[in-house]
Amino acid sequence: MTDTLVEMRDIRIEGRADETWMPIIKGVDLTLKKGEVLGLIGESGAGKSTLGLAAMGFCRDGVRIAGGSVSFDGIDLLAASAEQKRRLLGKRIAYVAQSAAASFNPAHKLIDQHVEAPVQHGVMARAESEQDGIELYRKLRLPNPDEIGFRYPHQVSGGQLQRAMTAMAMACRPDLIIFDEPTTALDVTTQIEVLASIRQIVEEFDTAAIYITHDLAVVAQMADRIKVLLRGDEVEEADTREMLSHPKQDYTKSLWAVREFQRPPKPPVAEDATPVVSVQGVTAAYGKIDVLHNVSFDIHEGRTVAVVGESGSGKSTTARVITGLLPPRMGGIELDGEALPPDYRQRSKDQLRQVQMIYQMADTALNPRKTVGEIVGRPVEFYMGLRGRKKRDRVAQLLDQIELPAGEFIDRLPSEMSGGQKQRIGIARALAAEPKFIICDEVTSALDQLVAEGILKLLARLQDELKLSYMFITHDLATVRSIADEVVVMKDGEVVEQGPKLDMFRPPHHAYTDLLLSSVPEMDPDWLTNLLAERGVDNLGDAAVDKMG
Amino acid sequence: MSVWLTLLIALAAIAAGGWALRFAGQKLTGNKPVFRDMPYAVAFGYVLGAAVLVFAVWYFFQPTMTEQGTPVAGVMFFRWAVQAFIGFAVAAYLFRLLGRHVGTAGSRKMFRQMPLTASFGILVILIYAFLAVFAGVLAPYGQAEVFQQVNALPGGNAATGGNPDHLLGTDQIGRDLLSRLIYGAQNTVGIAFATTCLAFFLGGSLGFLAATLQGWFDQVLSRAVDVLMAIPSLIFALLLMTIASAWAGSEKWLLTVYMVIIIAVIDSTRVFRLARAVGMNIVVMDYIEAAKLRGEGLRYLIFREILPNATAPLLAEFGLRFCFVFLTIASLSFLGVGIQPPLADWGTMVRDLAQFINFAAFSPLTAALPLMAAGAIALLTVAVNFVVDWMLYRSSGLKE
Amino acid sequence: MNPVLKIILQRLALGLLTLFIVSIVIFTAVNMLPGDFAEAILGQGATPEAVDAIRRDLGLDQHPVARYLDWLAGAVQGDLGNSFAQANFASFVGADSGVRVTVAQQIAPRFANTMFLAGVTAAIAVPFAITLGILAALYRNSVFDKAANITTLTSISSPEFFLAYVLILFLAVLNPVLPSLSNIYADMGFGERLQKTLLPALTLTLVVTAHMMRMTRAAIINLLASPYIEMARLKGIKPMRVIVRHALPNALAPIINVIALNLAYLITGVVVVEVVFVYPGIGQLFVDSVKIRDIPVVQACCLIFAAAYILLNLTADILSILSNPRLRHKK
């Protein structure tokens, strides 16, 4: 009796693009023992999800397994008939999808979807399975476990749905569960509950799992072993602790190093210095509902203020008020000590020039029909009045500043560049206006870690060279740690706490800041265990947030 | 009833054949996945398809004349249809082959990825455009020219009531039908094209303006369009044509102009909807916000930022709108209130020649005349639809 | 149920408002006729007395707003005025108040005929199209799907009269199975009536089926691509159950929408097809009235067509609201 559960040999998977088959996975081996958790990590496009699904013998439309073998507990999945595979899925192999909200059928109650697999596979009778479901909900610490199953998916929050889906995967007590980025769409404080639930239940039932994610710190908490993928190839594989302490390959090392980038602290700002931008008592509303309440903070020359908060905390709304897209109901914005008109249409060309913006999604921030030369050249022409040769020279100089070779990029369209390059063009467009102040709205959150680090370093260098001030909107505390001078923590449209970065990361602080900070996963594999011990089981997630009101 | 019985037996045979196919396939190939995982419905489909194909081939080779010398019209029509189908397929294939080797790198790449239906569409559109432009040169006679022999039968054989000078015969007042068919390309297609352009100009510019300005301008226009779209377009067109015919009086050409305006206005509501929706999708993009915050004016926003991104969906919509306008005009003409004589027009021709269809059993070619005019309309709309379908598929495929 | 009820009432009110505005649009359009109805009917050679008589008779000497309200009040009660053709005839023979056929009397039997035609078409087309659409979606990109795609595109693109004549050619002339002219009388048996209606119904079926099938296919494919269907398959649910239990409840709204939209489309299609087959329906009457400029009839037909169109779109709207679980079970 062998204890190997999944065995993949030299698996090759192809996807269809433009009528031809392109390789997605280029010959990867994977072995999973019973009861073991394997973490699959890699950047977007590394083929993690495809590989995870292939372990179930499943391919999405337009994808095919071109070679190799997959066996599950001695069953050759590639040779098995559709009917044979169907009998395994759900019963012995289960799947937890990235977006629980989309993966639950909106037309049926949670419990009906929960009992479907056990009843259909003949594992349990309906009543028994329903009882078991409620028991699982209780184990996963869902609120009102007796009732929550009788709700429809849209009546339950995202973090709870994700736990309900984990419960559903457990319904038949499978031997293997594939977790496909189950916490990516969640806020950090919610993420931690889901992580704790998953880990607990996987340990309790001794289920083997493949945990797919792009977040190193998360995988460090969950996995016994880690396998790193890069563009369809395996980079390396090792036990979690070994991998964290002694990565062998350069690529893995660079991934680890990202987390360590940090700027030296700057001297404090002089007491009497006029801030570049001053947000003064801003209250703003969409329609009749106030979404910002009396928000005030200053941003000084050459400094970075990070505005931190979870989704819906009012970070982006603050940016809209500063740019003039959303005139505030009360309060105002000062630029260099002078009040700015509330609406951008009333601001002068020079005032508009001074405040620039870099967007989260480079895809929607650059006009797909314009070349780099046109995109970066337009503000040069519009504000500086440069034309023809002079304009082209200036664009080349700007591209040089963002470390892209001008000759190669000036005539490219956005679709011909990678995500990081597009983000750099966005930066160049902001620089072209020669502003004093730039708002960076989640500029790194759509990028892979290595690329994101490059962008952060570039922004830091530009700040030193050009004496720029940044307002850095982010939900990622690692980013805050690496680039911010000062931090503003927001929640529900209010500033909860603000101050220099070093003070913020040193206790004591506001309860919410504390929760936020402690919820960010760290690379230490014992972090989650320690944290749970520290907080106590009752003090997790929802409960903790509720307590603060 | 025996027809039904035969059909029932055939169906049962096919049902059994489907089962047999799957069973035999499994046994012969040693349970290959293709047959092993084949649902019964698929096997049934294969056998049904094969049966239809066999029947079609058998019917194609039936004699076209009975022993008594009377034509078997059904077989003749079927042969014409099949021959036309194969002819067009071969032409489309050759055209695509040509496109793959001639032209710029971009056009060659386009032809490489093109399905046969799309290359058929492009070929047909090119032929129609050629006919429309050179109708005056290509047609043997003028469109209003009247000859002595009325109702000459097609075929050009004097013995069977035809006239060698008029290949397709003449109509009830003695006009050459071939010439009128060719001029129809110029009139019907030309007028439809002009109407579509006008509709696009109206609907497109207002739609983009509504998307960019929003506020009350958008509200007023959108509500107005909602109301106009609540009236079925052909019905509304007929109503307005009634009034237009009173305005035009005896000036027939004026009625045609009114028709162009009426259909353009009715159709511009649909264009407005699309242009507004496309515009709205673009307006929420961050690059538009960036341009607004830069202080750009309305003209720059519409022409430099929005329009270049709207061309693909608008082009596809232009194709669909053209078909719709073309069919509306043809229907109006067919009903007798569209393009007015002496202009040759396919819709009117169908109406005038319709009664010939009853001669099908004796003279299949004569019966084919109204179908030719109607088919000329169908062929172009089919062609445009094929091209648009491909364009939409391509643009949706690029997104994924 | 309360919020749903509210939405539905809102939609109903909106529908009524639209119909009201549409009636104004139709009335205004008709009033844009040059000169005067009376002259328009009688032509230039008419005596002033005859013109005056008709003018008074039709109430043309009143203010347009008053006339509109009059017409609207009548229309609501089912009185659509008197046909010009009849008025014209009456004044022509010099009799002022003979037997007069009102528009309502003229329209009623033809409206019933048209409803019969639309009903037969829907009875054939709806089940046929939806089955085909689902099959095409399930076996997408197969030979069957591609053939269906080409066939439906062709039949959508063809003008109705082309399809009609092709059907006449094969089913009436070459193989006399069905009559090519639909002469229907009031006291005809159901079987005979059905037989005479079948050919126009088949023509409409071809067009509507193609539309409906394509839309159904698109809706189902869209649905099958959703993550919860993938989830159901990954749970090892049988393919048939995936369709019936997971796809169908969510497909209901789009399919209902497709059906209603196509029934609305039938309204326009009916006009041309009725003319081809000389089917005594409201479409035929409408076209005839357009040709002789019988304004009250044109106006009435237009209003009926628009009302049916709005009603069907409204039904589609309301049914898809009702079948949306997010709206049915509020938070």
* DSSP assignments along B207-276, one per residue: HHHHHHH-HHHHHHHHHHHHHHHTS-HHHHHHHHHHHHHHHHTT-HHHHHHHHHHHHHHHHHHHHHHHHH
Tally of domains within chain C: 2
Whether the Cβ atoms of residue B245 and residue B255 lie closer than 8 Å to each other = yes
Distance from CA of B11 to the nearest CA of A (A): 29
Q: What is the distance between the alpha carbons of residues A110 and A118, in angstroms, rounded to a whole number?
A: 14
Give chain C positions within 8 Å (CB) of A99: 227
pLDDT of A357 reads 92
Supply the DSSP symbol for A265.
Answer: P
Could you give the angle at which helices A511-519 and A527-535 cross, rounded to 10 degrees? 150
Residues 373-392 of B with CB under 8 A from C: 374-375, 377-378, 381-382, 384-386, 389
One domain for residues C10 and C120: no
| Interchain CB distance below 8 Å, B294 and A365 | no
A211 and A307: one domain? no
Residues C32 and C48 occupy one common structural domain: yes
One domain, residues A42 and A186: yes
User: Residue B273 — φ and ψ, nearest 5°?
Assistant: -55, -50
Residue A118 falls inside a structural domain:
yes
Q: Are residues C87 and C170 in the same domain?
A: no
Query: Is B8 in the C-facing interface, judged by CB distances under 8 Å?
Result: no
In which residue are the tokens 């009034």 written?
A: B243
Q: Which of C268, C274, C278, C299 would you mutate first to test chain B, the one with the most B CBs within 10 A?
A: C268
Find the CATH number of the domain harbouring A44. 3.40.50.300
CB B267 within 8 A of CB B197: no
Report pLDDT digits (tens) over A111-141: 999 899 888 888 888 898 999 889 888 888 8
Per-residue confidence at C98, pLDDT binned at 50, 70, 90? very low
Query: Structural domain of residue C31, as residue ranges?
Result: 1-101+295-331
For residue B321, what is the nearest residue in chain C, using CA coordinates?
C157
* Residue C94 in this model has a pLDDT that exceeds 70: no
State the pLDDT at residue B170: 77
The pLDDT score that the predictor gives to residue C93 is: 45
User: Among B397, B350, B394, B309, which residue's Cα sits nearest to residue B118?
Assistant: B394
Does A542 reside within a domain? no
What is the reported pLDDT for A377? 92
Terminal-to-terminal C-alpha distance of chain B: 53
d(CA A444, CA A427): 12
A13 shares its domain with A106: yes
Shortest distance between the Cα of A100 and any Cα of chain C, in A, equals 9
Q: How many domains does chain A have?
A: 2
Contact A58 C331 (CB under 8 A): no
Question: Which of B241, B347, B384 comes nearest C290 by C-beta?
Answer: B241
For A43: left if phi > 0, alpha if psi spans -120 to 50, otherwise beta; the answer is: beta
Closest residue, chain A, to C329 (C-alpha): A152
**Residue A95 and residue C67: Cα distance in Å, rounded?**
70
| DSSP per residue, A96-156 | E-S-HHHHS-TTS-HHHHHHHHHHHTTSS-HHHHHHHHHHHHHHTT-SSHHHHTTS-GGGS
Q: What is the CATH number of the domain that holds C284?
A: 1.10.3720.10
Q: Which residues of B touch C309 (CB under 8 A)?
A: 230-232
Give Cβ neighbours of residue A422 (< 8 Å, ≥ 6 apart): A362, A363, A365, A366, A414
Question: Which residue from A minimizes the CA distance to B309?
Answer: A369
Best-predicted range by mean pLDDT among A520-534, B6-20, B99-113, B344-358?
A: B6-20
pLDDT tens, residue by residue, C158-200: 888 888 888 888 888 877 778 877 777 777 778 888 888 888 9
Q: Which of B325, B351, B324 is nearest to B337 (CA)?
A: B351
- The single residue listed with the structure tokens 């989260």 is A360
In sequence order, what are the beta bridge partners of A478? none
Confidence (pLDDT) at A31: 87
Pair C73, C188 in one domain: no
Is there a single domain that holds both residue C186 and residue C211?
yes
Q: What is the dihedral of CA A326, A329, A331, A335, to 10 degrees?
A: 20
Contact residues on chain C for B45, CB-CB shorter than 8 A:
139, 144
Residue pair A462/A440 in contact (Cβ under 8 Å)? The answer is no
In chain C, which residues have their Cβ closer than 8 Å to the Cβ of A123? none
> Are A373 and A411 in contact, with CB atoms under 8 Å apart?
yes
Chain B residues with a Cβ under 8 Å from any Cβ in chain A: 33, 36-37, 113, 285-287, 289-296, 305, 308-309
Q: Provide the 3-class DSSP secondary structure of residue A306.
A: strand
Indicate whether A316 and A182 sit together in one domain: no
**Are C177 and C283 part of one and the same domain?**
yes
- Across chain B, what does the average pLDDT equal? 84
ipTM of the complex: 0.84
Q: Kind of pairing, strands A289-299 and A277-286?
A: antiparallel
DSSP B163: B
Same domain for A421 and A503? yes
Q: Token pair of B377, please?
A: 């309309």
Same domain flag for A309 and A217? no
Mean pLDDT of A336-358: 90
- pLDDT over 50 at A544, yes or no: no
> End of a domain among A236, A256, A276?
A256
More confident residue, B167 or A32: A32
Label residues A264-293 b or e (16+ Cβ within 10 Å = b). eeeeebeeeeebbbbbbebbbbeeeeebbb
Per-residue exposure over A510-531, b if at least 16 CB sit within 10 Å of its own CB, e if not: eebbebbbbbbbbeebebbeeb
Asked which of A254-263, B65-74, C12-21, C294-303 is least confident by mean pLDDT, the reply is A254-263
Tokens of A280: 């003064």
Average pLDDT over residues A439-466: 87
Query: Do C202 and C283 have their domain in common?
Result: yes
Q: Could you give the CA distance from residue A210 to residue A179 in angstroms, rounded to a whole number?
A: 6
Residue C136 has which token pair? 């095409």
DSSP string, C27-58: HHHHHTSSS-HHHHHH-TT--HHHHHHHHHHH
d(CA B272, CA A548): 51
Residues A198 and A321 in one domain: no
The residues near A456 (Cβ < 8 Å, ≥ 6 apart) are: A261, A444, A479, A482, A483
Task: Give chains near B: 3+ CB pairs under 8 A.
Answer: A, C
Question: Could you tell me the end-to-end alpha-carbon distance of chain A, in angstroms, rounded to an integer?
Answer: 55
Q: How far is C295 from chain A (nearest CA, A)?
A: 49
Q: How far apart are CA B245 and CA B258, in angstroms?
A: 9
For residue B200, what are the contacts with CB-CB under 8 A and spacing of at least 6?
B268, B271, B314, B318, B321
The pLDDT of residue B295 is above 50: yes
pLDDT at B235: 87
In which band, very low, low, confident or very high, does the pLDDT at A542 lie, cut at 50, 70 and 90? very low
What is the predicted pLDDT for the residue at C54?
67
Do both C171 and C225 map to the same domain? yes
CA A368 to chain C, closest CA, distance in angstroms equals 26
Most confident segment among A225-239, A513-527, B355-369: A225-239
Say yes or no: A135 and A210 in one domain.
yes
What's the gap in Å between the CA of B394 and the closest CA on chain A? 10
A337's tokens: 């000590």
Residues C246 and C132 in one domain: yes
CA dihedral of A248, A254, A255, A261, whole degrees rounded to 10: 140
Question: Given an 8 Å threshold on Cβ–Cβ distance, is C162 in contact with B389?
Answer: no
Residue among A85, A93, A105, A114 with most chain C CBs within 10 A, to mutate: A105
pTM for this entry: 0.82
| Co-location of C280 and C319 in the same domain | no
Mean pLDDT value across residues C228-253: 86
* pLDDT exceeds cutoff 50 at A472: yes
In chain A, which residues have their Cβ closer than 8 Å to the Cβ of B109?
none
- Statement to judge: residues A353 and A500 lie in one domain: yes
Identify whether the C-beta of residue C51 lies closer than 8 Å to the C-beta of residue C39. yes
A18 touching B, CB under 8 A? yes
| A378 φ/ψ sector (left φ>0, alpha ψ -120 to 50, else beta) | alpha
- Nearest residue to A501 via CA among A311, A258, A308: A308
Per DSSP, C82 falls in state B
**Which of C131, C140, C169, C279 to mutate to test binding with chain B, by most B CBs within 10 Å of its CB?**
C169
Tell me the per-residue pLDDT of C124-133, one tens digit each, with 9 for 90 and over: 999 999 888 8
Does B120 have pLDDT greater than 60? yes
Candidates A66, A51, A73, A57; CA nearest to A7 is: A73
Of B36, B286, B293, the CB nearest to A352: B293
- Return the sign of the alpha-carbon dihedral for residues C248, C254, C259, C262: negative
**Helix segments in chain B, DSSP class H:** 2-28, 33-36, 40-60, 73-101, 105-112, 116-133, 135-138, 177-184, 190-213, 215-229, 233-248, 252-283, 286-294, 298-300, 307-335, 346-353, 364-399
Provide the chain B residues 237-256 that lie in CB contact (below 8 A) with chain C. Answer: 238-243, 245-247
pLDDT tens track for C31-71:
776 655 556 556 556 677 777 776 666 666 677 777 778 77
Residues C127 and C267 placed together within one structural domain of the fold: yes
- Same domain, yes or no: C136 and C24: no
Q: What residues 106-135 of chain B have any CB closer than 8 A to a CB of chain C?
A: 117
Tell if the CB–CB gap between A359 and B286 is shorter than 8 Å.
Answer: yes
Same domain, A312 and A371: yes
The per-residue pLDDT for range B143-175, each reduced to its tens digit, is: 777 777 777 777 766 666 677 777 777 777 778
CA dist A47 and A59 (Å) reads: 12
Are residues A352 and A407 both part of a single domain?
A: yes
Q: Quote the domain boundaries for residue A408.
A: 301-327+343-516
Residue of C227, C241, C246 with shortest CB distance to A99: C227
| Eight-class DSSP state of A492 | T
| A157-161, A270-274, B55-59, C35-39, range with the lowest pLDDT | C35-39
All domains of chain B in start order, with CATH: 3-60 (no CATH), 177-396 (1.10.3720.10)
B375 and C162 in contact by Cβ < 8 A?
yes
Q: Per-residue confidence at B139, pLDDT binned at 50, 70, 90? A: confident
Share of chain C above pLDDT 90, in %: 2
What integer is the mean pLDDT of A52-64?
Answer: 85
Task: Read off the pLDDT of each residue in A147-166 and give the average, rounded to a whole number.
Answer: 85
Token pair for A18? 């433009």
Give the closest-approach CA distance of B34 to chain A in angstroms: 10
Task: Flag whether pLDDT at C84 surpasses 90.
Answer: no
Residue A81 pLDDT greater than 80, yes or no = yes
Answer positive or negative: Cα dihedral of A531, A536, A540, A545.
negative
Chain C residues in contact with A105 (beta carbon < 8 A): 228, 231-232, 246, 249-250
Q: How confident is the model at residue C90 (pLDDT cuts 50, 70, 90)?
A: very low
